[in-house]
Amino acid sequence: MDGESKIQNLKSKIGTRHRPKLGQHFLHDQRFRTKILEELDLRADDVVIEIGPGRGAMTGLLTGRARKVIAVEVDRELAQQLEADFAGQPAVQIILADILRVDLAAICRQEGVAQAFVFGNLPYYITSPILHKLFEQRDSIRSMGLLMQREVAERLTAEPGTRDYAYLSIATQVFSQPCIAVAVPPGAFAPAPKVQSALVTFRMKAKFDQWPREKGDEFLEFVKRCFAQKRKNLLNNLGGIYLRTRLLEAFEAAGKPANLRAEELSLEELAAVFESLTRGSK
């Protein structure tokens, strides 16, 4: 029995046995499950860490494309049912845990791999914390495919000068190359959410891979200050941290006027200002 047939068999047993909570929206549409699977950069030897498998709609499909799936589920009742549904399948391991507390590097060591593939259907209310946690553990991730609210997906992939371009755009693009791969309508989920969703794929590649890890973290703190009050220009947002004369020198060195707002500078331009400031005294 192939992965899709297994899921159809499970679906008839699952029915409405578990009422969704914790912001869960289960992906039930077979067409979109197939579309999503086709967009994932999976390899036959991959270990997949699945975030929020829910009723296992994608878990069985993932096992058909990868060596092993480790499904991390925070809901005890769902985790127990998944254990029963995938009993006797060594290619699937269920972990009852909060992904925000899971050590991805430890899982990789356990499975004898340097990096894992991460897939997840992220609860809307906790998408940003999960993303930050994953980027903190980026050294253990080869690639990712994450289902999320379309609005958040557009922020992650936004370009300078657009309304959606913000701190989260930079935090994502400094460590990866995100791409909106599939638009997923509310009707593909049960229960149907009130918002549009999208699959975002992430090629994990640091923009400034020559920087030590600590410098990358410092740069994100700098960017956070730049976007602290979006309506203020950078000179005002950074004025309480750096001397005005130093700021003017840094913007001149980067070839940008100091009265711009953060959303008007590209990732590379923000990095140039940061480099200039960190070379001098605060």
Strands 116-121 and 47-51, how do they pair? parallel
pLDDT of residue 23: 59
Query: How far is it, in rounded angstroms, from Cα 214 to Cα 173?
Result: 17
**Encoded tokens for 181:** 């791969």
CATH tag, 3-204: 3.40.50.150
Residue 202 has pLDDT above 60, yes or no: yes
Q: Which of 16-30, 44-58, 266-280 has the highest mean pLDDT?
A: 44-58
Nearest to 248 by CA among 256, 263, 275: 256
Task: Give residue-wise pLDDT tens across range 79-98.
Answer: 999 999 999 999 999 999 99
Query: How far is it, in rounded angstroms, from Cα 81 to Cα 86?
Result: 9
- Confidence class for position 18, pLDDT limits 50, 70, 90: very low
pLDDT of residue 50: 98
Residue 116: count of CB within 10 angstroms of its CB:
24
Residue 25 has pLDDT above 50, yes or no: yes
Q: Where are the domains of the chain?
A: 3-204, 213-279
Tokens 């992650």, located at residue: 156
Whether the CB-CB separation of 148 and 195 falls below 8 Å is answered with: no
**Encoded tokens for 85:** 């549904």
**Mean pLDDT for the chain overall:** 90
Return the CATH architecture of domain 213-279. Orthogonal Bundle (1.10)
What value does the mean pLDDT take over residues 52-65? 95
The C-alpha angle 94, 73, 81, rounded to 5 degrees, equals 65
Query: How far is it, in rounded angstroms, from Cα 45 to Cα 116?
Result: 10
Residue 3 has pLDDT above 80, yes or no: no
Beta bridge partners of 201: 145, 179
Task: Give residue-wise pLDDT tens across range 221-256.
Answer: 999 999 998 888 999 999 888 999 999 999 998 888
